[in-house]
Structure 1
């Protein structure tokens, strides 16, 4: 038993020598850790989007563009979201590397499926509009943070935000906030002004959370 314990709890350096790229270090996640992080981030993001959709609100970024098309046409949200993300994959493949592209593709595909089928397995009885807007924005913020920290994104603007942070040091949260506010300006043609106010509150909560918590000088793992 003692010999087994020594083998199991061997030093991290020896594990890295034997495990290679699979082993975690202070600056590197294992594939299993990445998978868990991407799945968790996708679930939280999908829950926040479903909550905002139930309330008739919006969010920003590519998800917000999908909301604009969804409210204008009534088409399936998950399918719209998936199609809108396709052009951004070129940037991911060209600039962000294969690992980022694979993890992001997996996250976007899973998020598209979850939001497409969410009404069949998740329904809300009552949510206060202000509370729902803030909680929905916070859930999406947590989800995106998990994705960013595992070198992935929810696609679209998230890919651009991560690229700009890596290339120029621009905070991903602030990039997301600017694009979100631009998208929300287009919401005046599809939803009521009072819903836009709540949507802006949710977007501000989400992006303030990201702006404060997603910093390369505080989190170095990839």
Structure 2
């Protein structure tokens, strides 16, 4: 049986963080493209960006980046420089990837329910990679990390509550069928995180 060293050597190095942020945002960008192609929404800051995109046709990537700007100062003060800088890098990279994803990747056909599940799973896996390297996709994620670390609240429950509020607002731009599928995608995303990201089970930070 292979022995797993749980000492300092298990901590992530710079290269580990770089590849995780690159691949995590790449998976998330593909997941977001599945949502966009099926005209679905989602939770978090990305969900707000979808609402603005559907209402105004502004690109999702740039909107995500701009929406996150106010959260960086908050993250710097409450969660530290490392987390904030990694999150800034992740959000900036996601914005670029999302901007070019539509031209680089054509889905062709995907049943809306399949897009909801696939988009939620891919985005969830991408966020999981970021979380395990002390990064996030910003916005609501920064607040969720804060309330868990500083206030002792469960980040998942806080995230779910805000996601439901944002998805409820989706009725302003989507019909009930698309909102229902958006909820399905958000449930899959949060399930990926809830099952695979539990405090104390991973020590690679």
Structures share fold, TM-score greater than 0.5: yes
Deviation string 1:100-125 (CA, Å, 9 cap, x unpaired) is 11111110000001111111111111
Matched, 1:216 2:189: no
Matches within 5 A, 1:168-207: 168-207=151-190
Alpha-carbon displacement from aligned partner over 1:62-90 (angstroms, at most 9, x marks no partner) = 00000010001111111111110001101
Which structure exhibits the higher relative contact order, with contacts defined as CA atoms closer than 8 Å and separated by 6 or more residues? 2
Corresponding residue number in structure 1 for 2:96: 113
Report the secondary structure of 1:123's partner residue.
coil
Q: For residue 75 of structure 1, what is the aligned residue in structure 2?
A: 58
Over residues 33-85 of structure 1, what are the superposed CA-to-partner deviations in whole Å (9 max), with x where a residue is unaligned?
Answer: 11111111101111100110000001100000000100011111111111100
* Separation in structure 2 between the aligned mates of residue 174 and residue 214 of structure 1, nearest angstrom: 13
How far apart are the structure 2 equivalents of 1:220 and 1:168? Answer: 22
Structure 1: gaps of 5 or more residues? 1-11, 17-23
Contact 1:85–1:155 (CA<8 Å) still a contact in 2? yes
- The answer on 1:65 being equivalent to 2:48 is yes
- The number of equivalent residue pairs is 200
CA distance in 1, matches of 2:112, 2:59: 23
Larger Rg belongs to = 1
Q: TM-score, normalised by structure 2?
A: 0.93
